[in-house]
Structure 1
Amino acid sequence: MTQTAPLNTDRIWQLCDDSREAYVALANRVFDTPETAYGEYASAAAHRDQLAAAGARITEGIAGIPTAMMGEWGAKGPVIAVLGEYDALPALGQAPGVAAPQPTGGAGHGCGHNLLGSAAMQAAHAIALWLAETGTPGRVRYYGCPAEEGGAAKTFMVRAGAFDDVDAAISWHPADYTGVFEAVSLANTRIDFTFTGQAAHAAASPELGRSGLDAVELMNVGVNYLREHMPDDARVHYAYLDAGGEAPNVVQAKATVRQLVRTARLAELGPLVARVRRIAEGAALMTDTTVEAKMVSAVSDLLENTVLDRLMDGHIQRLGAPDFDAEDGAFAEAIRDTLTPEHVADTFRRAGRPIDRALPLADFVVPLGTAPRISSGSTDVGDVSWAVPTVQAWVATCAIGTPFHSWQLTAQGKSPAAHKGMVQAAKIMACVGRDLFADAGLLAAAKAEHAGRIAQEPYRCPLPPEVLPPLRPRP
């Protein structure tokens, strides 16, 4: 492939280092104002302020979502997107820098999205400066994407056409080791099932009651029996949204349960969801209640792009793991003391490496293709990957063994180690974006591979047209 512009890796790294202070401050500001899905108004404002300071052309309210935005630099040429997030998780507020449970109340960044969005914008800004310095034609965009945690904002954004003119997309996720985020994830949908019956006095006239709560419990029993008869890599989880009330002497007339259904591939999701729906109908029949099903969100599995994976892997190998120091290791050791040996072993299992219980932080990188391909979680980046060629990285920001969605991860969200990993992620993504602008053949190869995969299995948005984002009012 013929390069159309000189590739000076040291320069793109330097551009990231030059902006380190501003983006660490952004990550900390988001950490200090954690907000859950579709309520990230303060976080979105912080990202908008930084985009303005970086000289981006800003578009807000993408797909009708007040907290979704896009900042763009450059002109003409291809369009490369860098995807950021900034939503938090409920009930995971935690004092930073403390290796013991110290809840602060409210939401917390138990998946490191304060770091995710900040590094993504830092990378986009560095690419923009490189485009200007070299005179390379092209537009780089930072997409501020809310509600990844269960809200499927990117799926709504894809459906609204936000990526229709994008040539490739880049992202990353905080983790406890560094390597390419290979395309293994689960498609999923969240559906709320509300059962409605008839209230009655539970002692005087229970025969007159029809219990929505009984229906929810029977549905969960039915789903439990279904688990033996669905694919090994499928998952169904649930949460009670409304248990009907607090009075046990009342037949609870109405109750709601949220069912989260996951499968390895989007094509397998529909049949499993249909079975779950039939279980709900059966529970309603058994309890003489009615049931209403309302889809809340849905995401696709990730679509692989080996051209981009290899490109990113090369830069990860050159950059290496974040340069952690003794103080980083000491705090990581303290965090690890709160974990079980199984947590630590799980990291090495996922990384495809022998267990080293003496290692507090991952000073290694995982070469592409050496880790087992284990599907476990879900991400709305999946829908972007079906729309455009997409690549992601894992980058170490926390102690080995730290589980996602835990107080331990939140506690490390403002640590020096987290900031080092964040800047390393920005450098990796900036290098990938720079190469795609500089080498037309590389981008063409990525797009050709994507087109070939889509030709074999066309993308179908998992969200029906009538399903809208569950927006929250501005506080």
Structure 2
Amino acid sequence: MRNEEQVWRAVDERRDDYAAFSDRVWDMPEIAYTEARSAAEHVTMLEKEGARITTGLAGIPTAVMGEWGEDGPVIAILGEYDALPGLSNEAGVAEHRPIPGDGHGHACGHNLLGAASLLAAAAVKDWLAANGMKGRVRYYGCPAEEGGAAKGFMARDGIFSDVDIAISWHPASFSGVNEAVSLANTRIDFIFHGRSSHAAAAPELGRSALDAVELMNVGVNYMREHMPDHARIHYAMIDGGGIAPNVVQSRAKVRYLIRAKDLPELNQLVGRVRKIADGAALMTETTVETQVVSAVSNLLGNSPLERAMYDNFLRLGPPQFDDADRDFAAKIQATLSEQDIAAAHRRHGLKVEPGKVLCDIVVPLENRGTGGVGSTDVGDVSWTVPTVQARGATCAIGTPFHSWQLTAQGKSPAAHKGMLHVAKVMAGTAVDAIRDPELIRRAKEEFRERTGGKPYQSPLPANAKPPIEAMGRGI
């Protein structure tokens, strides 16, 4: 039996256990830095698999790591399990039907992401033992990808410093190697302080923090015309100063999310936004303080690992869906727009095929997508060690992520099949790296070339701490 077939069989043997595991995490959606129950589920699975377990990585209570094997190369497989606020939905229905409760939902598929990654690591663990191979495989349970930058804090604190290569994946409409393109970003809170007064009797005595926030927003909006096309700036009002319009607001807080193609460009944009905030404070005779909530680097690709992962995709072929899977996917797709479906194809450099509802191909490695680009804290891992990511088809083509439609598909048979499929790809890639020291050498050589041999520089300030309390409160 070939090595990849052996490790793929280890994945298949756990099929039902890990589908149920993913579903349990789906049933307990927890937002960034509050994933206590989800992390506990991962620890339980790690215990069942006989892992050496470490918890509280980088001072984050919901970050965990399990390790198997001795000596040899260290292969990290990264998982996530945080949900999103306001995106709950019943499973298995093709209509918007939120579940009563806190409103959280797995609208980015991280219940699948964590389960598949742990499954891949467990399969590699079996392969190591069965073949008497030297090597260590680690599963890193990484919380708070959605805005919390947990991997950034973990990378800054050296959690991945002895890793040889890192492997991860993300749910998607299509299966293939992830194109290593993402935007660096940072989240910064701007807190304005003014002076309260009676808005009718003595407005001249007040200095409005809310006015400062509004003037800052106007200034940033004018700046949008004068920044790179791919850069993005978003904001959310965290504190408007209260609900009484007859009081001049003495405090107001706005959170800005600033994105750019890389850290140098990001730093330039951040500097400009800070000047606008200072200007708004000057105009309103208020003061402004800032607090960096999170920050992530852009993704750094690695050609040797991408080729190795693609070879595993080709040996395995695309995921195998059945008529029942396609029937449900068609119902979901009927709730989407033509633009949603076209965007999913563009993202993978594919032409739209009318009537296709689920992936039946492996996206060619040379394909380059077009359209919008997001951000991920995997970027910081990729600047620390050679890193590769897969995309695994788990949903109807065109499903927007961060949508109720994605939540509704999170426990479907198609999602389980896609999860198992990509677990095999990741496990096969890990086995290839352990068996072939030359692959790791080439991956590290390209990593040094791309980084210029310079050590990783975190975009997080040295004094920044994981925003555990703030994110846990939904702010």
Pair 1:97 & 2:92 matched: yes
Pair 1:384 & 2:381 matched: yes
* 1:301 alignment partner, one of 294, 298, 301: 298
Alpha-carbon distance between aligned partners in 1 of 2:268 and 2:19, rounded to the nearest angstrom: 45
Alpha-carbon distance between aligned partners in 1 of 2:156 and 2:455, rounded to the nearest angstrom: 14
Cα displacement (A) at 1:288: 1.0
Q: Deviations over 1:364-416 (max 9, x none)?
A: 22111213265611000000001000000111100111011111101111111
Cα displacement (A) at 1:454: 1.8
Q: Deviations over 1:79-124 (max 9, x none)?
A: 0000000001111111111111111242111100000000000000
Pair 1:194 & 2:191 matched: yes
Alpha-carbon distance between aligned partners in 2 of 1:230 and 1:96, rounded to the nearest angstrom: 41
* 2:64 alignment partner, one of 42, 66, 69: 69
TM-score (norm 1): 0.97
Alpha-carbon distance between aligned partners in 2 of 1:247 and 1:319, rounded to the nearest angstrom: 62
The amino acid across from 1:357 in the alignment is: P
* 1:210 alignment partner, one of 198, 207, 211: 207
The amino acid across from 2:298 in the alignment is: D
**Which residue of 1 is the match for residue 407 of structure 2?**
410
Q: Deviations over 1:251-286 (max 9, x none)?
A: 222111000000011121111100000000111111
**Which residue of 2 is the match for residue 229 of structure 1?**
226
Aligned with 1:459: secondary structure?
Answer: coil
* 1:343 alignment partner, one of 340, 345, 364: 340
Pair 1:22 & 2:4 matched: no
Q: Deviations over 1:413-442 (max 9, x none)?
A: 111111000001100000000000011111
Pair 1:56 & 2:51 matched: yes
* RMSD over aligned Cα atoms: 1.4
The amino acid across from 1:390 in the alignment is: T
The amino acid across from 1:431 in the alignment is: G
**Which residue of 1 is the match for residue 33 of structure 2?**
38
**Which residue of 1 is the match for residue 278 of structure 2?**
281
* 2:437 alignment partner, one of 418, 433, 440: 440
**Which residue of 1 is the match for residue 153 of structure 2?**
156
Alpha-carbon distance between aligned partners in 2 of 1:430 and 1:446, rounded to the nearest angstrom: 17
| Contact residue 239 and residue 257 of structure 1 kept, 8 A | yes
Q: Deviations over 1:156-187 (max 9, x none)?
A: 11111111110000000000111111110000
Cα displacement (A) at 1:357: 2.5
Alpha-carbon distance between aligned partners in 1 of 2:179 and 2:454, rounded to the nearest angstrom: 19
Alpha-carbon distance between aligned partners in 2 of 1:80 and 1:319, rounded to the nearest angstrom: 21
| Contact residue 160 and residue 385 of structure 2 kept, 8 A | yes
**Which residue of 2 is the match for residue 327 of structure 1?**
324
Aligned with 2:468: secondary structure?
Answer: coil
Pair 1:262 & 2:259 matched: yes
Alpha-carbon distance between aligned partners in 2 of 1:218 and 1:179, rounded to the nearest angstrom: 45
Aligned residues: 470
**Which residue of 2 is the match for residue 3 of structure 1?**
none
| Contact residue 112 and residue 419 of structure 2 kept, 8 A | yes
Alpha-carbon distance between aligned partners in 1 of 2:371 and 2:69, rounded to the nearest angstrom: 38
TM-score (norm 2): 0.97
**Which residue of 1 is the match for residue 392 of structure 2?**
395
The amino acid across from 2:438 in the alignment is: G
Of 220-229 and 446-455, the range deviating more from structure 2: 446-455
Cα displacement (A) at 1:7: 4.5
Pair 1:241 & 2:238 matched: yes
Alpha-carbon distance between aligned partners in 2 of 1:251 and 1:472, rounded to the nearest angstrom: 28
Pair 1:463 & 2:440 matched: no
**Unpaired segments ≥5 residues, structure 2:** none
* 1:428 alignment partner, one of 418, 425, 439: 425
Alpha-carbon distance between aligned partners in 2 of 1:401 and 1:204, rounded to the nearest angstrom: 56
Alpha-carbon distance between aligned partners in 2 of 1:421 and 1:203, rounded to the nearest angstrom: 62
Q: Deviations over 1:195-247 (max 9, x none)?
A: 11112222222222111111111111111111111111111000111111112
Q: Deviations over 1:4-58 (max 9, x none)?
A: xx94222111110001111111111111111011000000000000000001000
Pair 1:127 & 2:104 matched: no
Of 39-48 and 25-34, the range deviating more from structure 2: 25-34
Alpha-carbon distance between aligned partners in 1 of 2:246 and 2:318, rounded to the nearest angstrom: 59
Alpha-carbon distance between aligned partners in 2 of 1:278 and 1:223, rounded to the nearest angstrom: 10
The amino acid across from 2:14 in the alignment is: S
Aligned with 1:410: secondary structure?
Answer: helix
Alpha-carbon distance between aligned partners in 1 of 2:383 and 2:434, rounded to the nearest angstrom: 21
Pair 1:146 & 2:143 matched: yes
Alpha-carbon distance between aligned partners in 2 of 1:388 and 1:7, rounded to the nearest angstrom: 28
Aligned with 1:95: secondary structure?
Answer: coil
Aligned with 1:270: secondary structure?
Answer: helix
Aligned with 1:80: secondary structure?
Answer: strand
Q: Deviations over 1:121-151 (max 9, x none)?
A: 0000000000000001000000000000000
Cα 1:373/1:337, change in 2 over 3 Å? closer
Alpha-carbon distance between aligned partners in 1 of 2:181 and 2:205, rounded to the nearest angstrom: 50
Alpha-carbon distance between aligned partners in 2 of 1:166 and 1:295, rounded to the nearest angstrom: 28
| Contact residue 348 and residue 370 of structure 2 kept, 8 A | no
Aligned with 2:215: secondary structure?
Answer: helix
Aligned with 1:261: secondary structure?
Answer: strand
Alpha-carbon distance between aligned partners in 2 of 1:422 and 1:250, rounded to the nearest angstrom: 54
Cα displacement (A) at 1:444: 1.0
Alpha-carbon distance between aligned partners in 2 of 1:373 and 1:8, rounded to the nearest angstrom: 36
| Contact residue 194 and residue 251 of structure 2 kept, 8 A | yes
**Which residue of 1 is the match for residue 269 of structure 2?**
272
**Which residue of 2 is the match for residue 111 of structure 1?**
108
| Contact residue 179 and residue 368 of structure 2 kept, 8 A | no
